[in-house]
Amino acid sequence: MDYKELMNQAVEIRKRAYTPYSGYQVGAALLTKAGTVFCGCNVENAAYSPGICAERTAFVKAVSEGEREFSAIAVIGGKADGPLESAPPCGICRQVMREFCDPDTFEIILGTGPEDYQVYTLSQLLPMSFGPDNLRNQETV
Ligand code: THU
């Protein structure tokens, strides 16, 4: 699976975004180390805070199907009636990535489409992060 194809899948799933409140649509395609792809879109809510981002939709789908090992995620955004845009993941999504992914090797593909993207590591987008290792070997109170 090359990143151009992963980006294509993000573009496709973005069409399913449910965004009656912001009108900003995001698609994400999450690649497992085994080569499977889980796709997600943002799903908004009338009460606002229950809304979920595309990236977390993809992670929740994958983890709930038993996947724990990931190599990359492609993300694409843009207004419903406008061109595709680069959509850097929000802070909460970066932290969710940190839970399951190695910051130095997990790659985040951002850009305006399959022909125009850049590749970042998670540690570039979330430096000095707090993760599962910080809670290992802690005595419980
Ligand atoms: N959104 C995502 O899906 N991913 C991000 O990382 C940034 C924001 C969504 C949430 C909301 O539905 C819309 O974009 C506007 O914030």
Q: Among this protein's residues, is 55 annotated catalytic?
A: yes
User: What number is the average pLDDT over the span 107-135?
Assistant: 98
Res 139: pLDDT: 66
Q: Does 140 have pLDDT greater than 90?
A: no
User: What number is the average pLDDT over the span 114-129?
Assistant: 98
Neighbours of 122 (CB within 10 A): 24
Separation between Cα atoms, residue 101 and residue 136, nearest integer Å: 16
Cα(93) to centroid of ligand 1, in Å?
Answer: 9
Give, using CA atoms, the residue closest to atom 10 of ligand 1: 53
With a CB cutoff of 8 Å and minimum separation 6, the contacts of 52 are: 42, 43, 60
Res 111: pLDDT: 98
Separation between Cα atoms, residue 24 and residue 81, nearest integer Å: 9
Q: Using alpha carbons, list the distances in angstroms from residue 51 to 76, 110, 116.
A: 18, 22, 28
Cα(77) to centroid of ligand 1, in Å?
Answer: 8
Cα(16) to centroid of ligand 1, in Å?
Answer: 13
> Which amino acid, 27?
G
Question: Could you say which of 44, 55, 85, 99 is catalytic?
Answer: 55
User: Which residues form ligand 1's pocket by a CB distance below 6 Å?
Assistant: 19, 22, 24, 26, 42, 44, 51, 53-55, 87, 89-90, 93
Neighbours of 138 (CB within 10 A): 7
User: What number is the average pLDDT over the span 5-29?
Assistant: 98
Res 122: pLDDT: 98
Kindly indicate the confidence band of residue 31, based on its pLDDT and cuts at 50, 70 and 90: very high
Q: Record the pTM.
A: 0.96
Residue in 42, 56, 96, 98 to alter for ligand 1 test, most ligand atoms within 8 A of Cβ: 42
Mean pLDDT, the chain, integer: 97
User: What number is the average pLDDT over the span 29-52?
Assistant: 98
